[in-house]
């Protein structure tokens, strides 16, 4: 595992659980608004060895409830399954953050019972997915396969979209709503400039803009909410 970061305690990254967050290096997308741009390339230097993370987690048994694995894109890690098996030995629940572009990995981990919760990004409507994901010739069928798999309900999950004023419009959400119809939880996350954005020219949406987008999707999903703004 190429581990480039660790948040020792979080109440936000794994809904309903006290968790640690492990950040993996490398990504197959190049979203221009990415706030973890230092984790995108294959040359991102590891910050921790796998054994160091395991030693840390061993000391947190009885304190933490889960581990969120994010990135970068964790499904690119060739030894992700083995790492998860080691973590689960301590009784921790596993949340996986993914862009859904490797549905075969997602399916394998879930079907083996290794994942307890999945948060999958929906970058934009299908027509503009390639632009917003930052890769010129995206195979949208891979994303569709992951969406359809999660919608079967085989594992608890959420879909989420990071909303950027300059990149998203009502048209995106008119496409997203029918696409993810039937899902239980969908979140709009307001873009936040972390100071480490891949292309630092973007801005956050207003609360009213986010509420309008949420209203478009609301008829299609069980629950829609906004993260990153105060109500």
In the prediction, which pLDDT does 167 show? Answer: 96
In the prediction, which pLDDT does 42 show? Answer: 64
Average pLDDT over residues 86-104: 98
The model's pTM is 0.95
Reply yes or no on whether the pLDDT at 44 is more than 70.
no
Average pLDDT over residues 12-18: 93
pLDDT band at residue 47 under the 50/70/90 scheme:
confident
Reply yes or no on whether the pLDDT at 162 is more than 90.
yes
In the prediction, which pLDDT does 11 show? Answer: 92
Kindly report the average pLDDT of the chain as a whole number.
94
Average pLDDT over residues 119-146: 96
Reply yes or no on whether the pLDDT at 199 is more than 80.
no
Reply yes or no on whether the pLDDT at 65 is more than 90.
yes
Q: Enter the tokens of residue 110.
A: 């879930």
Pairing of strands 3-10, 117-121: unpaired
Reply yes or no on whether the pLDDT at 84 is more than 70.
yes
> Domains (ranges, CATH) in the chain?
3-161 (3.20.20.70)
∠ CA 1-24-18 to the nearest 5 degrees?
105
What is the three-class DSSP state of 63?
A: coil
Q: In what order do the strands lie in the sheet with 157-163?
A: 3-10, 19-24, 66-70, 93-98, 117-121, 157-163, 185-190, 223-227
């Amino acid at each position: 595992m190429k581990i480039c970061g660790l948040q020792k305690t979080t109440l936000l990254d794994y809904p309903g659980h006290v968790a640690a967050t492990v950040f993996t290096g490398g990504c197959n997308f190049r979203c221009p608004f990415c706030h973890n741009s230092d984790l995108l390339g294959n040359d991102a230097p590891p910050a921790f060895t796998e054994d160091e993370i395991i030693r840390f987690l061993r000391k947190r048994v009885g304190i933490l409830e889960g581990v969120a694995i994010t990135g970068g894109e964790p499904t690119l890690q060739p030894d992700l399954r083995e790492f998860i098996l080691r973590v689960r030995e301590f009784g921790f629940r596993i949340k996986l953050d993914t862009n859904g572009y490797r549905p075969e990995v997602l399916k394998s981990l879930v079907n083996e019972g290794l994942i307890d919760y999945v948060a999958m990004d929906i970058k934009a409507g299908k027509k503009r997915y390639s632009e917003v994901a930052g890769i010129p010739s995206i195979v949208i069928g891979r994303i569709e396969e992951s969406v359809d798999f999660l919608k079967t309900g085989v594992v608890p999950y959420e879909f989420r979209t990071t909303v950027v004023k300059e990149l998203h419009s009502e048209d995106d959400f008119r496409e997203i709503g029918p696409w993810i119809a039937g899902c239980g939880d969908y979140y709009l996350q307001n873009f936040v400039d972390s100071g480490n954005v891949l292309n630092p020219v973007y801005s956050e949406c207003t609360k009213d803009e986010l509420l309008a987008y949420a209203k478009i999707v609301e008829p299609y999903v069980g629950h829609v909410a906004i993260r990153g703004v105060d109500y």
